[in-house]
């Protein structure tokens, strides 16, 4: 796979930099710009009320109440003040005026910019007519997490819809809280779509061993209210009755505020490999950015490491600093039942599977296409996992991993 290449530009005259979206990418970018020596005006605008935080922990330690928001902050108010980053919180962007260089916010107000960074991430998708709140929940923000925690107090039967990362993690956390959990997914195994069949089967066994009831290969058509809970209606005619339902079926880019702006919006903000939109003063990073590769294909990634790496790379580019050359490779992880599964790369259809290690509580599975590595997935091997990065990024033969895996 190709090394990341970033054209070194002269330090740009950025003027007033406005970042919309105070999540992983937006916050990291603001701080990287300051750390890189930028001394102009930097404004970070976000619609959540609290300080930026480590979102992945919502479905893990915060949902289980092992941690509270103060434990997972990305920075304090003092840090932001010290770095002279103006933090405009609880403010939702509703539109963008490209010609006037204004971010439109509620109540007819606006924030002017010279350079705009779009980092508004994604929002959870819903099922059919289901609405959040009450007995049907999604989990993306701190507010939603605390709403779900409150709902769990009086709930014993919990239906979790969606067998991806978020659904699987929620099912594990809620089960560990002692609730009866039914996990419903259209895939054959949880996590299968991203982490492959082997890891998917492994996670299915772990869920079942922990008492989660699995309903796989079935699509949810709707969630309706009953007198004392919810009924999840399935495409195969079946139903699941529960006290509450939690929907984790994936997300859509938070681009509503950019509709009609004139930017290229296609399942995300379409940008080049550096994050550049067609407007020279506007860039997009993080989950919302659909990056165009040299071969014309586009890719949007919804993972923490990718969001923060994009933020760091863009800050360096805009400051005219040489790029840090890192292999361009997706890294992701998931935590459940006290263990971590990690992954480098991605698994295309038809990739060949190689089980390199299978022990109690540990595995390493590699994937190849035409004999060259494209992905590695591992559990319980965090100490050596990072050593696989170069081999996967370079597409080495799988044999090279055997001494590291053993
Ligand atoms: C529950 C959960 C668990 C996760 N677990 C993992 C994991 O284990 N591993 C992993 O790699 N990734 C995980 N992720 C994904 C990871 O959190 C994201 O990839 C990462 O947060 C993306 O960063 P971002 O800055 O692009 O978007 P976000 O962090 O989503 O930040 C976007 C911010 O913009 C705000 N916003 C949206 N619209 C507007 C608007 N119009 N005006 C103002 N503000 C707006 C949002 O409220 C949000 O605060 C998880 C995500 C969730 C929800």
134/245 same-domain check: yes
Nearest to 219 by CA among 248, 194, 183, 184: 184
**How many A from CA of 99 to the centre of ligand 1?**
29
**How many A from CA of 63 to the centre of ligand 1?**
16
160/193 same-domain check: yes
For the CA of 52, the nearest atom of ligand 1: 49
- Quick one: pLDDT band at residue 326, thresholds 50, 70, 90? low
Range of the domain at 359: 338-405
The answer to whether 327 and 3 are in contact (CB under 8 A) is yes
Conformational region of residue 84, where left means phi above 0, alpha means psi within -120 to 50, and beta covers everything else: left
Quick check: 295 pLDDT over 50? yes
Final residue belonging to a domain, choices 230, 249, 268: 249
**How many A from CA of 219 to the centre of ligand 1?**
25
93/26 same-domain check: yes
Would you say the CB of residue 172 lies under 6 angstroms from ligand 1?
no
Would you say the CB of residue 311 lies under 6 angstroms from ligand 1?
no
For residues 2 and 338, give the distance between their C-alpha atoms in angstroms, rounded to a whole number. Answer: 35
For the CA of 28, the nearest atom of ligand 1: 25
User: By alpha-carbon position, which residue is closest to atom 52 of ligand 1?
Assistant: 56
At a CB cut-off of 8 Å and minimum separation 6, what does 47 contact? 90, 91, 92, 93
User: By alpha-carbon position, which residue is closest to atom 13 of ligand 1?
Assistant: 56
361/375 same-domain check: yes
Average pLDDT score over the chain: 92
Mean pLDDT, residues 13-39 taken together? 97
Can you give the pLDDT at residue 3?
35
Final residue belonging to a domain, choices 216, 249, 282: 249
188/106 same-domain check: no
- Quick one: pLDDT band at residue 399, thresholds 50, 70, 90? confident
For residues 402 and 298, give the distance between their C-alpha atoms in angstroms, rounded to a whole number. Answer: 33
Can you give the pLDDT at residue 130?
59
Quick check: 269 pLDDT over 90? yes
Buried (b) or exposed (e) across 198-221, using 16+ Cβ within 10 A? bbbebbbebbeeeebebbbebebe
Q: How many domains does the chain have?
A: 3
For the CA of 94, the nearest atom of ligand 1: 41
Nearest to 94 by CA among 259, 337, 247: 259
Can you give the pLDDT at residue 133?
55
**How many A from CA of 22 to the centre of ligand 1?**
9
Integer-rounded Cα radius of gyration of the chain: 22
Residue of 19, 21, 29, 64 to mutate, ligand 1, most atoms within 8 A of C-beta? 21
The answer to whether 356 and 293 are in contact (CB under 8 A) is no
Would you say the CB of residue 80 lies under 6 angstroms from ligand 1?
no
244/257 same-domain check: no
The answer to whether 185 and 162 are in contact (CB under 8 A) is yes
144/283 same-domain check: no
- The arrangement of strands across the sheet holding 298-299 comes to 269-271, 289-292, 298-299
The answer to whether 384 and 402 are in contact (CB under 8 A) is no
The total of other beta-carbon atoms located within 10 Å of residue 64's CB is 16
116/261 same-domain check: yes
Can you give the pLDDT at residue 21?
98
Query: Phi and psi dihedrals of 31, rounded to 5?
Result: -70, -35
Q: What digits encode the pLDDT tens for the residues 228-245? A: 899 999 999 999 999 999
Quick check: 128 pLDDT over 80? no
Would you say the CB of residue 333 lies under 6 angstroms from ligand 1?
yes
Query: Phi and psi dihedrals of 381, rounded to 5?
Result: -130, 30
Establish if 6 belongs to a structural domain: no
Residue of 64, 120, 142, 341 to mutate, ligand 1, most atoms within 8 A of C-beta? 120
Quick check: 304 pLDDT over 60? yes
Establish if 231 belongs to a structural domain: yes
Mean pLDDT, residues 305-319 taken together? 95
**How many A from CA of 56 to the centre of ligand 1?**
8
Final residue belonging to a domain, choices 231, 249, 267: 249
The answer to whether 263 and 98 are in contact (CB under 8 A) is yes
39/97 same-domain check: yes
Name 133's bridge partners. 136
21/70 same-domain check: yes
User: By alpha-carbon position, which residue is closest to atom 1 of ligand 1?
Assistant: 59
Would you say the CB of residue 58 lies under 6 angstroms from ligand 1?
yes
For the CA of 27, the nearest atom of ligand 1: 25
**How many A from CA of 324 to the centre of ligand 1?**
24
Can you give the pLDDT at residue 11?
60
């Amino acid at each position: 796979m190709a090394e990341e290449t970033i054209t070194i530009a002269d330090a740009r005259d950025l003027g007033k930099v406005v970042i919309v979206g105070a999540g992983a990418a937006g916050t990291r970018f603001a701080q990287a710009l300051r750390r890189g020596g930028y001394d102009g005006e930097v404004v970070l605008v976000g619609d959540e009320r609290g300080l930026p935080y480590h979102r992945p922990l919502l479905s893990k330690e915060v949902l289980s109440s092992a941690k509270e928001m103060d434990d997972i902050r990305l920075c304090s108010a003092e840090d932001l003040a010290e770095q002279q980053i103006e933090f405009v919180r609880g403010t939702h962007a509703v539109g963008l005026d490209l010609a006037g260089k204004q971010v439109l916010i509620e109540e007819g107000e606006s924030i002017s910019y010279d350079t705009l960074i779009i980092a508004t991430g994604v929002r959870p998708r819903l099922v059919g007519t289901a609405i959040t709140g009450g007995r049907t929940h999604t989990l993306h923000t701190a507010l939603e997490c605390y709403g779900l925690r409150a709902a769990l107090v009086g709930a014993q039967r919990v239906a979790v819809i969606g067998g991806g990362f978020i659904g699987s993690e929620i099912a594990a956390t809620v089960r560990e809280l002692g609730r009866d959990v039914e996990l419903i997914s259209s895939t054959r195994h949880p996590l299968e779509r991203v982490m492959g069949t082997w890891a998917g089967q492994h996670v299915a066994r772990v869920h079942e061993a922990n008492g989660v009831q699995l309903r796989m290969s079935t699509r949810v058509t709707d969630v309706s209210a009953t007198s004392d809970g919810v009924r999840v209606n399935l495409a195969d005619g079946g139903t699941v009755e529960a006290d509450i339902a939690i929907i984790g079926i994936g997300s859509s880019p938070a681009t509503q505020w950019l509709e009609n702006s004139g930017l290229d919006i296609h399942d995300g903000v379409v940008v080049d490999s550096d994050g550049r939109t067609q407007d020279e003063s506007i860039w997009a990073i993080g989950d919302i950015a659909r990056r165009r590769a040299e071969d014309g294909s586009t890719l949007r990634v919804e993972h923490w490491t990718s969001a923060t790496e994009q933020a760091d790379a863009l800050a360096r580019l805009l400051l005219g600093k040489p790029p840090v050359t890192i292999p361009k490779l997706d890294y992701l992880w998931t935590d459940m039942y006290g263990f971590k599964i990690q992954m480098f790369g991605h698994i295309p259809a038809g990739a060949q599977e190689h089980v390199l290690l299978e022990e109690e509580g540990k595995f390493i599975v590699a994937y190849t296409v035409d004999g060259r590595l494209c992905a590695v997935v591992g559990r319980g091997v965090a100490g050596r996992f990072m050593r696989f990065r170069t081999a996967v990024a370079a597409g080495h033969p799988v044999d090279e991993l055997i001494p590291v895996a053993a």
